[in-house]
Structure 1
């Protein structure tokens, strides 16, 4: 078994386009762009819940206007497919007619690294999601929503054969690992395979994520 962790977007695209990965964590926009479900037979196992993306500050409630951002240091993740911490905030800047070169942007490797930058005062604002443990360091009064109902990532399995036993076993294993993480975000995982009775059934993607 080979495991690849923290690959770049280019590597993820290559894995999907060539069908290299048997199991992969990806996002709807990447899967759709690569047509990976139809061309490489990737099917979802588990979907993370939808969430809200925020601008988060340590000292004040962020305002969505051009003048506010121009004198702030802003923390984003250095990962172009991250919606909450890269795509959506940059969409806000574009809507406000702000040239990115006019902004002081600091890129971090992860959402955790963003929070470290904010807590140390190295940035004024970060773009991310809000989690319960954030209240230990930051105030919920100092967050401003960027977008609601942002779809979460999904674990996909490459199903060249109808190996439903394998799909169900992986779904259980991934659920066990995820549920060990103490976060309310994982309380509403969407399971795409109904595995508690035979024959196993795939639950289509048109149903609610919740």
Structure 2
């Protein structure tokens, strides 16, 4: 009998505690206005704006390499009449690491994306999703850059050097080409002192601050303020520049020409000479829209 009483009392206690917890939760819900609960995003990775067609549920998806470009392009396209005829909003995503664009290209998520032609080729995205190049940037040359001497393409030169490379494998100038050089020179990567960086700017900071002896990157006009042009050695010339691609499952030439015009206008506002030199792939001045060239 005593055992039954003990068990009964425990059951009553458990039920009481459970009901008490429910009562406290209900009181908490009634005392808090859920509309006031707003949790800030820890990492902001996109921006959205509405077109004049606010009832249209279709969204134009953009993928850009930086927040500034993503925001500028989104707000520009949201005011466009052609875009408003087809979309109710423009959503622009950005990532600073090139590898993070793989999903947007590989799954065809992005309607408009700035990426490299070798990534498009790797995912066969041009044939799978009919991505078309709209605006491209000039070919460039990859270099080994040093702060104190002209780099040599020789096995003995690299041994013992602190070498700065990019930590994402799709970069041609900062990763692919220098590693190809090392392979051609029969250098085991394990025998090299490689320091990886997350961006080309970070590579330049490593070199300027004496953290590395040499980096692999491209040369830009502003580099002359920090380094000597006498201390660069080319790895490869005529590397295809990045391109803006538009997904074209339909022959949507109105959208293509409108997007191209916005991209060209945006390029003129860039501070770097390289990005000012954007060139179009399509002839939109005539009644019939035509493709101008295969490469820029």
- TMscore range, shorter length: over 0.9
SS at match of 1:67: helix
Higher helix share: 2
Once superposed, what is the RMSD of the aligned Cα atoms?
A: 1.6
CA distance, structure 1, for counterparts of residue 223 and residue 98 of structure 2: 28
CA distance, structure 1, for counterparts of residue 154 and residue 206 of structure 2: 23
1:197 aligns to 2:286 (yes or no): yes
Asked which structure has the greater CA Rg, the reply is 2
Which one scores higher on RCO, CA 8 angstroms, separation ≥ 6? 1
1:79 aligns to 2:191 (yes or no): no
Q: Residue 16 of structure 1 contacts residue 40 of structure 1 at CA under 8 Å; is this kept in 2?
A: no
CA distance, structure 2, for counterparts of residue 177 and residue 189 of structure 1: 9
Change (3 A) 1:96 1:105: same
Aligned partner of 2:128 among 16, 19, 39: 39
1:25 aligned partner: 114
CA distance, structure 1, for counterparts of residue 161 and residue 186 of structure 2: 16
CA distance, structure 1, for counterparts of residue 267 and residue 288 of structure 2: 26
Question: How is 1:61-72 mapped onto 2 (pairs within 5 angstroms)?
Answer: 61-72=150-161
**TM-score, structure 2 as length reference:** 0.66
SS at match of 1:2: strand
1:118 aligns to 2:220 (yes or no): no
Deviates more, 1:64-73 or 1:14-23: 14-23
Unpaired stretches in structure 1, ≥5 consecutive residues: none
Aligned partner of 1:159 among 248, 252, 256: 248
CA distance, structure 2, for counterparts of residue 177 and residue 77 of structure 1: 27
Q: Residue 267 of structure 2 contacts residue 276 of structure 2 at CA under 8 Å; is this kept in 1?
A: no
Unpaired stretches in structure 2, ≥5 consecutive residues: 1-89
By how many angstroms is 1:179 displaced? Answer: 2.0
By how many angstroms is 1:11 displaced? Answer: 4.1
CA distance, structure 1, for counterparts of residue 198 and residue 270 of structure 2: 20
Off by >6 Å, runs of 4+ in structure 1: none
1:150 aligns to 2:228 (yes or no): no
Deviations 1:48-99 (Å, cap 9, x if unpaired)?
1101100000110001111111111111111211100110000001111111
**TM-score, structure 1 as length reference:** 0.92
By how many angstroms is 1:9 displaced? Answer: 5.5
By how many angstroms is 1:13 displaced? Answer: 2.7
